[in-house]
Structure 1
Amino acid sequence: MKNTKINILLLLVAFIPYFIFAQKTVKLKNETDSISYAFAVSLATQIKKDGVDNINLKVFNKAFKHALNEKPLTIDANQADKILEKNKIKKSNMTAQKNLEEGKTFLEENGKKEGIVTLESGLQYAIIQQGMGGVPTLESQVKTHYRGTLIDGKVFDSSYDRGKPITFPVTGVIKGWTEALLLMKEGAKWTLFIPADLAYGTRGAGGVIPPNATLIFDIELISIEK
């Protein structure tokens, strides 16, 4: 599997110049052309996802030709896999640190705004609508509607968009949610501003929440189910 991954990566070199230098649309004359183009797009997209954004095309071309012609490699497939994994971790750590700093700055500025409450844990909230019902406990199941966004406004999840609220145990969600739910009354609508350590931390989530991301949730506590 590792060797296959590296060989596929090397194969991409045949297509990269088209992405970098081509000014005209590539003409696809037959099925082979279409498959080749689609394969190149898929591989290029995957490389970007893996955090590889700086490629020396001369070195890349040589490695591709050597691998294709089964000539001795300066770096074998196993070594190459380790290098790529190391680069991926490095990029992830850099992203995590950047997100942590941006989140800290965001929360510091947000906390100065009128109507924002900052708790000792670092959780911030704004009350959009007061609730009139009961308050959940750690043993409660609650029904909620919510919309989650990153600090740049990108929506990563929304029960509103799905048109269906979700029911879950108060202790079955991220720490920031649990802390807020224990303060809310049925019928309340709050906006939560959750620091990374009360959300998904360094691991992120589902490929849509990056590491150390500060999250914003519009949350509506519809009812306490039990």
Structure 2
Amino acid sequence: MRLGVLAAAVIGFTGMQALAQAPASSSSASLKTEDDKAIYALGLSIGRSIKIFDLSPAEIEIVKKGLTDSLTNAKPAVELDTYGPKLQALAKGRQEKVGQKFLEDAAKEKGAVKLPSGIIFKELKAGTGASPKATDTVKVNYRGTLTNGTEFDSSYKRGEPAEFPLNGVIPCWTEGVQKLKVGGKAQLVCPAKQAYGEQGSPPTIPPNATLVFEVELLGIGGQGADVPRATPEPKK
């Protein structure tokens, strides 16, 4: 994530928070024009993207102070050239901390198994068929979410199962789906290194994100390579 994107996100998120805490005249009831609604949607979008920082209420106030000082041309408390470049490392550290805590909690759930790679596998429904090999093509239904519950992809919503070679997807899937039998369903909690890593998959999956998938194995074999993506495919 580049500094410019992070800085813009901080400003946008802070502005959204300021609107949320403003008097009633700034509430959703006052969004009368299309421009008002579009600008509010901008705040929502940026607010969701800045969740990568996992800001506390006190930290949100600090960010709001920075925004206010910038907009009023007040003397900044710190030099942006010095501390702006630290944003990327801050975001990475926060995501890793949140992801590690989530993985630890997931591993404690009843029926959960921590694999050597760090993936947390939890069977939700036992299958009765065969298990696929990494070189097989599989047909699945799945739902993917961030650790905060935000859904970023779902074959159920698209109304069509996905079909792809198992060795052509993220490592978490390659390893985890091999543990399923046809007809079975499992939850896969994927550490960032076993998912999209430090790059993430913008705009819906941030860098260093731990991901949660519910995967249902429908079949083995067949044609196609509909690899799980960060965003749903457009309807035809």
Report how far residue 202 of structure 1 moved: 1.6
Q: Taking structure 1 as reference, are residues 42 and 154 closer, same or farther at Cα in structure 2, changes over 3 Å only?
A: closer
Q: Select which of 149, 152, 158 maps to 1:153.
A: 149
**1:210 and 2:203 correspond:** no
Aligned-residue Cα RMSD (Å) equals 3.8
What is the count of residue pairs matched by the alignment? 190
Q: Select which of 122, 130, 133 maps to 1:134.
A: 130
Alpha-carbon separation, structure 2, partners of 1:21 and 1:149: 28
The match for 2:60 is none
Q: Taking structure 1 as reference, are residues 170 and 39 closer, same or farther at Cα in structure 2, changes over 3 Å only?
A: closer
Deviations 1:167-215 (A, max 9, x none): 1111121110100122222111111111111111121213222222211
The match for 1:109 is 105
User: Would the aligned equivalents of 1:171 and 1:178 in 2 still touch at CA under 8 Å?
Assistant: yes
Alpha-carbon separation, structure 1, partners of 2:183 and 2:195: 24
Provide TM-score, normalisation by structure 2.
0.64
Alpha-carbon separation, structure 2, partners of 1:20 and 1:110: 33
Q: How does 1:1-226 map to 2 (within 5 A)?
A: 23=23, 25=25, 54-55=65-66, 57=68, 59-62=70-73, 83=81, 87=84, 90-226=86-222
Alpha-carbon separation, structure 2, partners of 1:146 and 1:195: 18
User: Would the aligned equivalents of 1:118 and 1:124 in 2 still touch at CA under 8 Å?
Assistant: yes
Q: Taking structure 1 as reference, are residues 46 and 101 closer, same or farther at Cα in structure 2, changes over 3 Å only?
A: closer
Report how far residue 216 of structure 1 moved: 1.1
Q: Which moved more, 1:41-50 or 1:97-106?
A: 41-50
Alpha-carbon separation, structure 2, partners of 1:36 and 1:128: 46
Alpha-carbon separation, structure 1, partners of 2:45 and 2:177: 39
User: Would the aligned equivalents of 1:92 and 1:211 in 2 still touch at CA under 8 Å?
Assistant: no
Amino acid at match of 1:195: P
Report how far residue 109 of structure 1 moved: 2.6
Alpha-carbon separation, structure 2, partners of 1:47 and 1:193: 26
Alpha-carbon separation, structure 2, partners of 1:118 and 1:125: 6
Q: Taking structure 1 as reference, are residues 115 and 38 closer, same or farther at Cα in structure 2, changes over 3 Å only?
A: closer
Q: Gapped runs of 5+ residues in structure 1?
A: 1-11, 27-33, 64-81
Q: Gapped runs of 5+ residues in structure 2?
A: 1-11, 27-32, 54-62, 75-79, 223-236
Give percent identity, aligned residues only: 35
Alpha-carbon separation, structure 2, partners of 1:47 and 1:181: 34
Report how far residue 217 of structure 1 moved: 0.7
Report how far residue 126 of structure 1 moved: 1.1
Alpha-carbon separation, structure 1, partners of 2:105 and 2:21: 43
Amino acid at match of 1:55: G
* CA radius of gyration, larger in: 1
Q: Taking structure 1 as reference, are residues 39 and 55 closer, same or farther at Cα in structure 2, changes over 3 Å only?
A: farther
Q: Taking structure 1 as reference, are residues 21 and 142 closer, same or farther at Cα in structure 2, changes over 3 Å only?
A: closer
Amino acid at match of 2:71: F
Provide TM-score, normalisation by structure 1.
0.66
Alpha-carbon separation, structure 2, partners of 1:57 and 1:45: 19
Q: Taking structure 1 as reference, are residues 164 and 110 closer, same or farther at Cα in structure 2, changes over 3 Å only?
A: same
